[in-house]
Structure 1
Amino acid sequence: MMKPTVLSLSLKAMFAAGAVMSISAIAQEAAPTMQRVEITGSSIKRLQAETATPLSVIKAEEFVKAGVTNVQEALSRIPANQSGMGAGNAVGGNYSGLPTGGMASADLRGLGGDKTLVLLNGRRLANHPYDGAAVDLNMIPISALDRVEVLRDGASAIYGTDAIGGVVNFITKKSINQTTITAELLRPKQQGGDEERVNLSSGFGNLATDGFNIFGVLDWHKQESIGSQQREFSKTGYDLAKGLNATSGTTFPANYQDPGLIPGGPATTGNPSFATGCNPPYSFPNPAAGATTCRQDYTRQVDDNPDQKKLSAFVKGAFKVGDGHLATVEVLHATNEVISRTAPPPQTGLALPNTSPYYPAAASGATLSVNWRPLEAGQRTILSKGKADRIVAAMEGNLSGWDYKGGLNYSVSKSEENFIGGYVQDASFAAGVANGILNPFGLQNAAGAAYLASTALRGQVQNAEVKNTGFDFKASRDIMEMSGGQMAVAFGAEARREVADFFVNRDIAGQAASSGLSGSLSTGASRNIQALFTELVMPVTKELEVQLAARYDRYSDVGNTTNPKIGIRYQPSTALLLRGSASTGFRAPTLFEKNAPPSKNDTSNAYNDPILCPGGVVANNPIANELRDCDLQQFKLQGGNANLSPEKSKSFSFGAVFEPTQALTLTADYWNIKLKDKIDALPEEIIYGDYAKYQARFLRNPDGTPFAISDFKENLGEVETDGIDVSAMWRLPKSEMGAFTLSLDGTWLHSYKYQNEKGGAFDENVGRFGATYAKFRWQHTLSLGWKQGPWGATLSNAYKTGYRDQGGTRDVDAYSLWNLTGTWEGIKGLSLMAGVKNLLDEDPPLTIQSTLFQQGYDARYTDPVGRALYLRASYSF
């Protein structure tokens, strides 16, 4: 076996998220008892330094030093991660208009959360039930973690076909035999966004002396919402000086269209409050030439971040069985409650006859079509409840010279949505307008207020669950001596069953078009997956090692696939290591993607109907309605597609680790991924942007009025992306001033090209906002750490380059956040920390993106909290 070098040992401490390793931690890494262990990226026990693939390891204490309070925040600091799904997306749903259940997901390489495999102790968790494509990071018990291993390389041959972008493996502590109580507090400078966390861990038994250990961790976390009016950058969606013009034609007071008394005659539009300024600041006169209607600034009543409460409990028992065998049992239970608020419910196409006491005097006497947003109903408010449960029974050890590991795994992920405020029963509400009880143009009288209250729609609107039951077994051993050491082989098998059920309460959903669920239906599906895999590690010489792996997977609903991988590690000197790998991947469509029934939902953006309002000008057509067809959210028909093909990928990477001295480590890795048959719905902006090409997707009612665009899941085309990961760590010599460590972790994205359809043109997404997302040219985390006796401090910076904004008319500025934390551990068992997050109080940069409910900034890539004081106290006994 090779003698460990300073370089190889430094690989063990390779970092992600820019976390600073303290000098004391490095000293511990520098002289350990080198032991063969299983690490992410291989099924063969080996020294961590022996890997041929780029593996980053973040120790749990580095989360603490950086002031990280949740898993989503931790992964957002990893430059290879371009996550676009977090707490802010729960407000108004994702870009498709569907609820997210408050989930957060990892997204290595920006390929989508469905192509990053998330593991807990090397085994799968059930994916979040809404589309079933990714694990909800909210369910990971952060306070139970020992470390996170991030494999920035395709690993379908080792873990499963969907590990195309990489693997994030959350690894819990192996044992605990003391009690620790921890409390955390976050207080922003501005109102909103307060956080509290309390966790308790305790255990007993010593594996070495008692032969067992049982421990448990209980963690509670609460985060207060941030309303749009609590932050200057998100207060309005209408500021023409900044380019913001995201408003709605469904307003309070209501707009109306008057068809006139002459059949086929020209229709007119108006608002009785237009001349008096509408209802500032929520609505204002339409600035369009000749307009007499109002526009609603709905952003004023949208939350930036939701209210969120998380509770997780993790229990693990480990028991020695005989000589060289270990039995373990893990139990996880986690809950997540999210309350999100958006603007009051838009009610469109209401009929107002001239018999109503609120009929405008200026109208013709014909029945009016009214668009009204009843502010008195309150903000639409959804309570999302998520729950995850997981139990694993496993055995590992050595039998007849084979290292083996096997286990049974059952996990379930559930989510439900409940209307708790703001939503109204459409039919009852429309009847109140038609019979003259409700006043669309002003505040309600006593009778109107009582009637409005009676239309309130409350209750559970949907729930879903995904269950994953599996068995896995693998074994490895050395098989022969080679020039560089022992050749080792591994074999393994896995079988699992996935079941997904999605229930829509038609009694609730069918009564509220503004929910985005009015056309949704219940569905369910299941499938079986079996896999065989093998791995061979060959130390050809003391300098050269080759890793070969292959995996065969069989899906009962989409067929078979075999995916190979090769990795090469070459170390010509103690100062230089070269590495490279190549692999293929295969992601089967999820059960939801294949089986979801048609659902009629709102588009994310406002559009003009290309026939009845071409170019934003209402057509001279008796069926045209300016308040329905012009500059308004339209409908889209979504759902699964039983004919979806799997996504397939090819990837390769190569890089180097250079350590000219013990104090300096430099790494660089080039990676390249090509994906074909990408599964997604065609972006609605593309469909509305080229009517001539996509006119068959515009579905209409028998009378010619718009029904919806057809936008089902499909295989769109190819994605080609490549870039370079770089890192540097400089460990300054210890002096009277203490020990300092400077680290940098960055990703430079060279290209991200995608096709919206097979054989179509490639669009470049790097440095610009594409159809729905931005891709950053450069991201980094930079950290400076200091340690002196019981004192320590960390100064860190997270940075993203700017990009060309949606529409291509302006640039979005770069985003840079500085955090500072200090620690004191002068009393045994006691650790105190204080710090400032967002030290310079940096606001999110201005963007005119319109794919989210929030306006003025992008909630997927930035933090609306602002400068905040962070306090933490922990005591162990």
Structure 2
Amino acid sequence: MFRKTIITSAVLALAATSALAQDAQKLERIEITGSSIKRIDAETAVPLTIVTRESIDKSGASNVQELVDRLSSNNGGGRSLGESIGDSNATGQTGASLRGLGRERTLVLLNGRRLAIYPFAGAGVDLNAIPLAAIERIEILRDGASSTYGSDAIGGVINFITRKDFRGGEVTAGYEQPQATGGTVVSAQGGIGFGDLAKDKFNILGTFSFQEYDVVHAADREFAKTGNRPDIGVVKSSGNTFPANAYNAQTGAYIPGVAGFPNCKPPDSFPGGANCRYDYTSKIDIIPASNRFGGLLRGTAELSADHLLFAELSYSRNEITLGSSQTPSSTTGRDDYLYPAGGKYYPTAAVDASSSKGYRGDLVIAWRMVDGGQRLTKVTNDMTRALVGAEGNFAGWDYKAGLMRASSKASEDFLTGNFSDTQLVRVLKTGNVNPFGPNDATGLALLKEAELHGNNRASKTTLDAFDFSMSRELFAMSGGNAAMAAGLDIRKEEYLDGYSDIAGSGDIVGGSGNAGKVRGERKTTGIYAELNLPVIKNLELNAAVRADRYSGASGESRDGAFSSPNLSSTSPKFSLRWTPMKELLVRGSVGKGFRAPALDNLYAPSAGTNTGGNFTDPYYNTLKGCAAFPNTNYCDTQLTVVNNSNRNLKPEKSKTATLGVVFEPIRDLSMEVGYFNIKITDGIKSLTGDDILKDWFSHQTGPTTSSSVYANRLIKNAQGYLDHVEASLENVGQAKVSGFDLSARYRVRTALGNFTPYWEATIVTKSSETNVVTGEVEDTLGKYLRGGPVVRVKQNVSLDWDTDAWAGGVRYFRQSGYRDYDEVRHVPKYDLWSLQGQYKGVKNLVLTAGVLNLLDKKPPVTVQEDYFQVGFDPTYADVKGRSFYVRANYKF
């Protein structure tokens, strides 16, 4: 009866069939994610979720990220595309986060083998690079640390499985249109295959996919159109405004009339107490425009009944255009921008109407370069993977071998609205650029001279790998034949984050400071063995062990050349599978994991950036005073931060335990309850500038003093004001997560068709980690976290109906709320309904229509200030709103 459990207990969205379902009369052995031993019974001792091709189609998802975001086991700490707006860290990447442990601890595979990490991040795979059209099924190993794939899979494994023996052709075209403005998706995908392995001894398969995503501007959505939200206590704005704020260069006195204070210039410029403020978040994009193309070519040849050769080539290209607000002129740590005395647009009347009457010297300006347009950058990621291998049977051993090279190239190019600091200073000195109003043709031409174009960052990661494994049955035991497997994998990874010279010089106005190149490489060797013992009837024990060695780690950046000592670990794992009766399965596992620091964690050069939130420099406020002299470099602004890598980082270690039962009391009814517990020690975490400043102010003992343990990380400049905050990566002690996975599925067969209700949920009962600032272990469950909260409950409910000619389905997704950023408010639960209908009455043709976010649910309100977006959390909710889609699939 458990021949179907791997499907019936674990499929995310409902499926009537699975490529893994085996006919009871066929004793074909298959390999399941999480084990190297091929077996007849697909139900394993470790928890596994499978998403079939049919499930993917019924989900309505247009890309892998949308699909993974709805997995109940995927929780906070991944990466959403909205986080890339205004953030140079992992720009353009989307990522998975099983158990809420982060994308760096979730191992993503394609056909059981690794992909190159995303170059701009140095950790994690970009889900955008995986072509959804080529996927036959997705296997999610919800058990951390894999002896087969790597002990660094602390959160779990997501294995994307492509078609391998496909004959015929298939093409799908789709169109999605949100009800509100923007966000249109046009897609086309297909595949063709020929050759029957059983008859022709070969098969060749090719697939392609293309998606074009239209932009959604913040102004297109009511909940995102402004950062001026006094109704919720958040006013995220900038003192770099249009017309520019201006100050007496000698005394620092504010000149109100230049910017029109106190009326300012609505709606984007508004009074903010001591000066005019600019609503810059209203000018960003919340879904970037993008184009995605993917292709896969696979050939398989049967040399004999016992030996199979295969070759695989996959390619994907993703172009994402990121739009943020117009460039601000002033930044903490940079010299003031001056409008020259005697300039064409010198505001004489406004100066004379202020306390600086009669002054005719230079003016300090805090300017938003509206005439330069929105800052647009294009991020392009090309991922290529070539693989050749063989599998079969030799002398009674099943074997598998593969040689692979994977690479990922990412580039960032300036399109519009980005400026050179030195050139902007030059053109301002002419006096012919107008920061106080619209520019004429001369001013616009000068601004064009200062504008930056071309490449700012070109990065690349490569992964060369060889793997070999073998398995066989050994001897008879009371419960069946014992079996073993052993294998090795050898990898070399190279990493280059290649910032341009201009990025390294810090000459980009309002940019990411002085980010610099970093290059690193290392080798990894892993050896593993697995033994499966059917001790007695219905009881199997499994023992596995993996030994990893990281060697030859070295790197260089502008901070110098470095090397790190070799690292090694031994990670054991034990599991059991017990079926006390044919309707009941009990399974459990315990194991250890090990994850070395990423290369950029070790070797990246010190680089400047900005805080996520707005802060006031306490030193400037005390010495000068923001009320009287509201300098936008120091008052209510994003202050400068210098991020530092850490060559002394230790590897993370983990312990994982699972226990579960699967119950099938009657035909077509399956239920599962599973418990998981993961503990991480020496966890690697960023100590950000925001963390340090928040702690400084929470422990403030005087105007310029604080008892914060990180008070010495606030570095002053020559004037005695804040120059920057020293941020870093640290080993912060421990993190824990535990909870339950639940699912129930039932098939009802009637004369009107088959009805399949399904429910699956993950309930997190504990999530805690050492506070990176205080060193104390704190509860993080159901609380705001940068990168996404770990919510208590995440669940999916669905009901599908299928007949020969028609099909339909309704889906309900819900995740519980959490305590907000301010630790006072509560962000309410978030849920979505979707509908889909299909017509299959024409041979080889399937027509699909559906509605996503049926009730047009808006993201819940939050007071978070870590992202450019204001009023909502881009990691938590859908921002497209109600969307309608149609698709047509034709097979030939």
Instruction: Give the TM-score, by structure 1 length.
Output: 0.94
Q: Does the Cα contact within 8 Å between 1:10 and 1:30 map onto a contact in 2?
A: no
RMSD: 2.1
Amino acid at match of 1:642: R
Q: Does the Cα contact within 8 Å between 1:256 and 1:627 map onto a contact in 2?
A: no
SS of the aligned residue for 1:632 comes to coil
Change in Cα spacing, 1:187 to 1:614, as seen in structure 2 (3 Å) is: farther
Q: Does 1:270 align with 2:250?
A: no
Compute the displacement of 1:514 (Å). 4.1
**Aligned match of 2:29:** 36
Match of 1:285 among 271, 281, 294: 271
In 1: Cα distance, 2:338 partner to 2:270 partner: 23
Q: Which moved more, 1:367-376 or 1:607-616?
A: 607-616
**Aligned match of 2:522:** 527
**Aligned match of 1:844:** 859
Q: Which moved more, 1:433-442 or 1:550-559?
A: 433-442
Compute the displacement of 1:720 (Å). 1.2
In 2: Cα distance, 1:267 partner to 1:858 partner: 38
Deviation string 1:241-284 (CA, Å, 9 cap, x unpaired) is: 233321111111112333655xxxx8446352334622211111
Instruction: Give the TM-score, by structure 2 length.
Output: 0.93
Q: Does 1:200 align with 2:190?
A: yes
**Aligned match of 1:445:** 440
**Aligned match of 1:350:** 337
Match of 1:370 among 348, 352, 365: 365
Q: How does 1:77-88 map to 2 (within 5 A)?
A: 77-82=70-75, 84-88=78-82
Amino acid at match of 1:20: L
Deviation string 1:681-728 (CA, Å, 9 cap, x unpaired) is: 213332002223211111222332322111122212211111111111
Q: Does the Cα contact within 8 Å between 1:723 and 1:751 map onto a contact in 2?
A: yes
Q: Does the Cα contact within 8 Å between 2:687 and 2:773 map onto a contact in 1?
A: no
Q: Does 1:789 align with 2:771?
A: no
In 1: Cα distance, 2:873 partner to 2:92 partner: 17
**Aligned match of 1:75:** 68
Match of 2:175 among 160, 177, 185: 185
Q: Does 1:45 align with 2:54?
A: no
**Aligned match of 1:475:** 470
Q: Taking CA–CA contacts closer than 8 Å with sequence separation of 6 or more, which of the two structures ends up with the larger relative contact order?
A: 1
Deviation string 1:35-54 (CA, Å, 9 cap, x unpaired) is: 21111000100135341010
Compute the displacement of 1:447 (Å). 2.3
Q: How does 1:505-584 map to 2 (within 5 A)?
A: 505-507=500-502, 510=505, 512-514=507-509, 516-556=511-551, 557=553, 558-584=566-592
User: Unmatched 5+ residue regions in structure 1?
Assistant: 1-5
**Aligned match of 1:671:** 676
**Aligned match of 1:139:** 129
Compute the displacement of 1:543 (Å). 2.0
Change in Cα spacing, 1:758 to 1:711, as seen in structure 2 (3 Å) is: closer
In 2: Cα distance, 1:802 partner to 1:748 partner: 13
Q: Does the Cα contact within 8 Å between 2:8 and 2:745 map onto a contact in 1?
A: no
Q: Does 1:720 align with 2:736?
A: yes
In 2: Cα distance, 1:387 partner to 1:614 partner: 50
Compute the displacement of 1:759 (Å). 8.0
Change in Cα spacing, 1:226 to 1:416, as seen in structure 2 (3 Å) is: same
Q: Does 1:647 align with 2:652?
A: yes
Q: Which moved more, 1:698-707 or 1:318-327?
A: 698-707
Q: How does 1:296-311 map to 2 (within 5 A)?
A: 296-311=278-293
In 1: Cα distance, 2:733 partner to 2:454 partner: 40
Compute the displacement of 1:858 (Å). 1.4
In 2: Cα distance, 1:26 partner to 1:447 partner: 66
Compute the displacement of 1:296 (Å). 0.8
Compute the displacement of 1:509 (Å). 5.7
Change in Cα spacing, 1:685 to 1:505, as seen in structure 2 (3 Å) is: closer
In 1: Cα distance, 2:373 partner to 2:624 partner: 30
Compute the displacement of 1:190 (Å). 1.2
Q: Does 1:327 align with 2:313?
A: no
Q: How does 1:691-730 map to 2 (within 5 A)?
A: 691=696, 692=706, 693=708, 694-730=710-746
Change in Cα spacing, 1:332 to 1:25, as seen in structure 2 (3 Å) is: closer
Amino acid at match of 2:67: A
Match of 1:492 among 487, 490, 502: 487
Compute the displacement of 1:79 (Å). 0.6
**Aligned match of 1:337:** 319
Q: Which moved more, 1:378-387 or 1:557-566?
A: 557-566
In 1: Cα distance, 2:29 partner to 2:22 partner: 15
In 2: Cα distance, 1:672 partner to 1:325 partner: 41
Change in Cα spacing, 1:551 to 1:433, as seen in structure 2 (3 Å) is: same
Q: Does 1:62 align with 2:55?
A: yes
Q: Does the Cα contact within 8 Å between 1:496 and 1:528 map onto a contact in 2?
A: yes
Deviation string 1:195-237 (CA, Å, 9 cap, x unpaired) is: 0111121111110000000110011111111011111111111
Q: Does 1:606 align with 2:614?
A: yes
Change in Cα spacing, 1:363 to 1:505, as seen in structure 2 (3 Å) is: farther
Compute the displacement of 1:63 (Å). 0.6
Amino acid at match of 1:212: F
Change in Cα spacing, 1:441 to 1:728, as seen in structure 2 (3 Å) is: same
**Aligned match of 1:831:** 846
Compute the displacement of 1:801 (Å). 0.9
Q: Does the Cα contact within 8 Å between 1:674 and 1:718 map onto a contact in 2?
A: yes
**Aligned match of 2:700:** none
In 1: Cα distance, 2:191 partner to 2:242 partner: 52
Q: Which moved more, 1:82-91 or 1:219-228?
A: 82-91
Change in Cα spacing, 1:446 to 1:11, as seen in structure 2 (3 Å) is: closer
In 2: Cα distance, 1:487 partner to 1:199 partner: 44
**Aligned match of 1:585:** 593
* % same residue: 36
Change in Cα spacing, 1:272 to 1:829, as seen in structure 2 (3 Å) is: same
SS of the aligned residue for 1:607 comes to coil
Amino acid at match of 2:271: P
Amino acid at match of 1:111: L
Compute the displacement of 1:453 (Å). 2.1
Q: Does the Cα contact within 8 Å between 1:683 and 1:772 map onto a contact in 2?
A: no
**Aligned match of 1:3:** none
